A and B are shown apart, each in its own frame.
Chain A
Amino acid sequence: MIQQVTTTESDQTLDAPIAPADHLVGKSCRRVDGQEKVTGAALYGADLFPNSAELFASVVRSEHAHANIVSIDATQALEVAGILGVYTHADVGGTNIHGLIRRDHPALASKRVRYFGDSIAVVVAKTERAAKLGRDKVAVTYEPLPVIATMEQAIAEGACKLYPEGNVMGDKRIRKGDVERALADSHVVVSDTFFTQTVDHAFLDIEAGTGHWDGQVLTLYVAGQWVHEERRLIALALGLPVEQIRIIQPVTGGAFGGREDISIQIYLGLAALKHQGKTIALRYTRSESMRARHKRHALKIESTFGANADGMLTAAKIVVYSDEGAYASTGIAVMRKAASHATGPYCVPNVEVDVYGVHTNNNPTGAMRGFGACQMAIAYEGMMDRVARALDMDRETFRRKNLIQSGDTVTTGQRIDPVSVGLCLTKAIQKFKDQPYPGSDHLPAHIKRGWGMSAICFGLGYGDGFPDCSRARVELSDSGIATVYTGGVEVGQGLLNAMMQIAGEELGLPFESMRIVAADTELTDESGSSSATRQTYFTGNAVRMAASELREQVLDIAGIKLKVHPHEITLQHGWAYETSNSNNRVRMEKICTEGLTRGYSLKATALFKPRTIVEIPNTGQSPRAFITYLFGAHVSQVLVNIETGEVKVERHIAAHDVGKAVNPQSVEGQIVGGVAQGLGMALMEEVTYRDGRIMNPGLTDYIIPTIKDLPPVEAIIVEHDDPGGPFGAHGVGEPPLIGAVPAILSAIYDATGKAPCELPMSPERTWRLINEVCENDPLSKVF
């Protein structure tokens, strides 16, 4: 019956003209998750509780930054009404260890705690109140150890060792040319030291989720950034085969790298295994979230740059100390990224970079938007301003002399083509100069205006030979609906739309005919992490490849129906028609029905796995350290109150080469949002520690930008097809933040005549910079 109705309908519309080609790539289709998000219907982790939570878990955390555990006594906790169990390391069936690159982080500490957030036990109770009360009654006896609060303490002679092999986690170097000689021969040599701060992701959707074990499968509804890798880590820690774990990503309220490390998954899994048949719920408070989670690395960057009298850079010597905190997390990748981005998009013939990762008893530090690359941009762009001034040369001219051009190499020796950083800088500065800011020119004497710029590059993907691939599956149904299956997670960035639009473009389908299933380890194949600005490029390519294979099936079937060669067929807006005679046409539904009848699968899967080449350990050189490079340039204009140190960003322009904007609205959202986080990092955000304890574990004192802090941000989308990307697209997630911070600092330098080197430039730090007040430094000392 239904079949007939469909046929009649399509016959009736046969005479109607086919809707014009609806190019989904390049179109700002309404977000597929928009409706549920604006009505409150979207279910984030904690939103699952009212309908599913049967038992509640809570986590016992260390009260010391560094201590041996003498004993864990649950007697009193177990006496609390409603408490069903208290579980420690002894109850964990597997390795009890997690860690993204190096497995070093105990899920539940057994002998030793290394930071204030370290977890010790999981309490399960009938109510959340009882679980928390029980948590507070678990008696842990500690033998305190010396707290390593700063990197300086960590590397001091005789320092207490966090690990038997010492407190230096690792190092990473670049060696190119002869730096000492080049510096000796330089016309100017400029040195400065930069201190970047510890930053929290502060995504709004606090860690929360549910776990359920039915005796066969452990099902976890928890937001992560790479569900398949998380499944592996959980399996190892709990001693379950991966086949018996299913992770389903709930709607996710931001990530920014903050969901890359394991958070609540293992606790929920352990509790569920102990309470078969019951759904366990666990959520953090904001303070627990901040206390438990990894942070962005604080870096001390000692930079020396030389240039000749013509303004050409001659050499760079850079030493970086990175606060790795208590556990490795993604620290090794961050060190690599810092090294390979140490001189940014500039030609520097002689380079020496040494990056040292140092363990402390601060929170572990790991992934956050633009890791490593972001901190280094603050240093190299800061140095461009300083060297230009030393040469008495205009900042833009100096940069342009040294920016890489198509075919040039970056620090790692990788040749890049095409290079669009100069184009981005031109567009940003042109906009700045052509459309002057409407603000008043008559400023009171204590208000100074300044503007600054930045030019940045970013190697996309994991790089450095690390396995990096995405899989995708696309299926067509009887009704002509195409469904994309991807393991990639939507965390707000717009992945769902991007993948649907890429597949729809390839299949000539309208957006309304597209569906997507994402981030369910049971239903989707692995697509790597939503990080490293990689999803559009990697999963986008896999989706396009799968859709392209499916397209071939569709063309074959359409060829049979239309009695023409598949090459003569156009797919457009849900129709297939003979390119030279659009009246000879057939709808996608009919093609699909016909195809399924004829035994076509109407399914296709694809793997996209480009290879990068591991860097030579002693020199950091690689012909292909990263799969592709992204470029951007920013201009920022600020007002500085020189009496109080308050800084107001008046205007900010961000130009980014995104290859091709799959969904321009999403791309603009990423650019403006990245600038906002960059503004926060430049001016206000800072996790402060005292002896390893976070002093501001909440949004009252961890300050992030409000609507009144953002100027109108002007996003310039530069489209310079990436030959390797789907429809020329590459990605945009991280570069906007990376570009924003140094541009704002550059503007402060311009306004005050003083070069900032500590972050964030809070009112007090800006005032200190202007007045050269050094004593009683407010910096939370992790250095």
Chain B
Amino acid sequence: MPDPTPMEIPTMQVACDVNGESFTRDIPVDMPLLEFLRDVLGLTGTKGACLEGECGSCTVLVDGETINSCLMLAAQVNNRSVTTIEGLAAGTELDVIQDSFVATGAAQCGYCTPGLIMSARALLNDQPDISESELLTALEGNICRCTGYASIIEAVKRAHRESQNA
């Protein structure tokens, strides 16, 4: 989160759609989207871990594309739509990627998990066929410190298979 400044931070009104719900909020102009989602909207599923765009923990979809919410200002999503990890499951029914992450043990400490699932969601949204290298490239911006990635790769492959069969 930005260091404080001696100046008053101007505020602005932001209207956006998050997980299908419309929000209008007055926020400081320098507030990163990550902070907006977590501290203003209370959607703490999206995680911050480096605040430099190096780890991918804060990955969300903006108009369907993955972005790092630690590096986008909340002001920039005015009139745009954001999807976070909280927007994937339908009630208690898990998204197939979420279910696969549990099934393969891809969530150990779980901190990288929301970001990884969002990156995987964007990949599966875009492509009917996925090569091994496309899969790895899609997830290369998401650091996991626990798993060594094997169970994550397995989870995304499983989710892809299941959605093809569905």
Contacts and interface: CB of A to CB of B under 8 A. Distances in A.
- In the complex, is A directly touching B at CB under 8 Å? yes
B94 A38 contact: yes
Given A251-B110, A673-B108, A712-B150, A699 B6 contact: no
A504 B71 CA distance: 46
B42 to A, nearest CB: 4
A40 B147 CA distance: 18
Interface residues of B, number: 61
Contacts of A373: none
B148 A673 contact: yes
Contacts, number: 187
A673 B44 contact: no
A253 B48 CA distance: 11
A35 B110 CA distance: 10
Given A40-B45, A251-B110, A34 B101 contact: yes
Given A37-B107, A204-B111, A677 B145 contact: yes
Given A669-B108, A710-B150, A40 B86 contact: yes
A39 B94 contact: yes
B85 interface: yes
A676 B147 contact: yes
Most central of B48, B99, B143, B149 by chain A CB within 10 Å: B149
Nearest to A35: B102
Most central of A51, A128, A665, A669 by chain B CB within 10 Å: A669
Contacts of B52: 286, 698-700
B54 A698 contact: yes
B107 A254 contact: no
Interface stretch (B10-18, B123-131, B134-142): B134-142
Contacts of B117: 38
B166 interface: no
Contacts of B94: 35, 38-39
B51 interface: yes
Interface in A240-266: 251-254, 256
A676 B141 CA distance: 16
Interface string A113-136: 000000000000000111011001
A33 B110 contact: yes
Contact of B147 (A30, A39, A672): A672
A494 interface: yes
A164 interface: no
B32 interface: no
Contacts of B144: 204, 707
Contacts of B112: 204
Interface stretch (A42-50, A99-107, A534-542): A42-50
A673 B105 CA distance: 12
Contact of A34 (B4, B47, B102, B148): B102
A721 interface: no
Interface in A171-207: 202-206
A665 B88 CA distance: 25
Closest 5 CB pairs of A and B: A40-B45, A492-B109, A253-B111, A37-B110, A672-B148
25 contacts: A31-B107, A33-B107, A39-B86, A40-B44, A42-B110, A44-B44, A47-B38, A50-B38, A50-B44, A203-B145, A204-B47, A204-B145, A206-B48, A206-B49, A253-B49, A253-B111, A492-B108, A665-B151, A668-B151, A672-B147, A673-B145, A676-B149, A704-B143, A704-B145, A707-B136
